[in-house]
Amino acid sequence: MPEIDHEFVEKILAGDRRAIARAISSVENRDAAAVPMLRELFPKAGRARVVGLTGSPGAGKSTLVEKLAVEYRRRGARVGILAVDPTSPFSGGAILGDRVRMQSLAHDAGVYIRSMATRGQLGGLAPTTQDAVTVLDAAGCEIILIETVGVGQDEVEVARLADVTVLLLVPGLGDDIQTFKAGVMEIADIYAINKADREGADRVEQEVTAMLSLATRPDGWRPPIIKTVATTGQGITDLVETLNEFYAFSEKNNVTGVRRREHWRSRLLDLLRQTLFERAVAGPLLDGSLDRQVADLLSHQRDPHQIVEEIIAALLPGSANCQAALSLSRGVVRIHHLGIAVESLRRAVPIFQKLLGKAPEAEETVAEQQVRVAAFRLGDSCLELLESTDGDSPIARFIAQRGQGIHHVALTVADLPKTLRKLESDGVRLIDRQPRVGAGDEHIAFLHPSSTAGVLIELIEERWR
């Protein structure tokens, strides 16, 4: 991984406009230096208020964003604007229409405007919008306005990123409410009827009011309707005040906290999908095999699902066998704990306590298995030290034959009886054909080492809460 350019990062944190521009270009182009840079910037972010503005093309989003930025600047806030434009079919970049329409802000040092290309991304945002928000947030922008590309009712991605979402509606575009009802109408926190000086604005307001009367939001917020005329600035002050009211409501009712938790959960999953895909492409697909696999599909020698399974197996060795052997009705297989046979807990516990920097979280005796257990939690897994309570117990025999050391690996499964039946039907030798109660009152079963490469495997039924 490239070394971090600390001088460059300091310039970004100081609000240097050229450094900010380079940083956003770096994340858009997926440069190798972008990830370590974002790693340095992320702890400095998280303070900005992120406002998403969406609506159909021609609703006046760019003009409204411009007037909002002017009002926030009048109140002393530093503003960042991310205007998502359609992708140019020639250069692959943004067409920059929004930046052209915001020229009145171009010479304000307290405003940073950036046009970003969708690059084929659905949902109205660019793929790296979140990273651009991180850069602007760390650079000191207190308000970040995100203007979506304006493509229609599927443009809901902004609601996952923004702290508050404003939907622009305008009179004169036909049956507005029916057009949007199934999509962005459901994610708006504030409705702005722009171009309210036109005929039909009152009708749009009545339709939105009627729609809102039919549904109650789980968080208790009733989205207000603000009339604006962005070209003259009418209603902009009211819109800013309404945004402040929503922030106050969100802080009191933890709406923002819940949204950010869900956002970062989605963000992690998106990054995981992206990273796994890129590694798959960088490995099994770039050696010329993709063309051969396409040829197999054209001749119907193999089906696409079979090919994908083979690619995943090549990317994650052993994953296919593991999935087949431990088929789950829900959830995923994970390591529950590692069992280590020791001659004496009194001697072993202090050693591991020093090594791990913590005391065992639990110690108990499991009479059925003739063992005393000391468990150290390590993240989502545990390390269990096992001391025999009887000279003829399994642990005692293990130590007599092999000495102290790793005794077994415990894996969780969602449905233990179902998993045991499946394993037995696949020819796996079982020590326990039916689950029994183990330490912590867990339902457990053991697989014979002869079927698992000489390793004793304990299966534990996952407890779902």
**Average pLDDT for consecutive 10-residue bins of the chain (465 residues)?**
83 95 91 90 93 88 93 96 67 48 77 77 64 95 89 64 92 59 70 93 89 82 94 95 96 90 85 75 62 81 76 58 41 79 93 89 85 87 92 90 91 88 88 84 88 88 60
6-253 and 335-461, same CATH topology? no
The two three-digit tokens of residue 279, written as one number: 């590694």
Locate tokens 């802000």: which residue?
105
DSSP 8-state symbol, 327:
-
What's domain 6-253's architecture?
3-Layer(aba) Sandwich (3.40)
Distance, CA of 399 to CA of 407 (rounded, Å):
9
Locate tokens 């994610």: which residue?
187
Whole-prediction pTM: 0.63
| DSSP assignment of 210-236 | HHHTT---TT-----EEE-BTTTTBTH
The two three-digit tokens of residue 317, written as one number: 């060795």
- Cβ-based neighbour number of residue 358 at 10 Å: 12
Class of the CATH-defined domain 335-461: alpha beta
Domain extents for the chain?
6-253, 277-317, 335-461
The sign of the torsion formed by the CA atoms of 308, 310, 314, 318 equals positive
Contact 432, 394 (CB under 8 A): no
Predicted pLDDT at 331: 45
Contact 187, 160 (CB under 8 A): no
Contact 149, 121 (CB under 8 A): no
Order of all β-strands in the sheet with 164-169: 111-117, 79-85, 143-147, 49-55, 164-169, 190-193, 225-227
DSSP 8-state symbol, 377:
E
Predicted pLDDT at 325: 41
Distance, CA of 312 to CA of 277 (rounded, Å):
10
Predicted pLDDT at 148: 85
Predicted pLDDT at 266: 84
Locate tokens 């233990």: which residue?
416
Predicted pLDDT at 464: 43
Task: Quick: pLDDT tens for 243-253.
Answer: 999 999 999 99
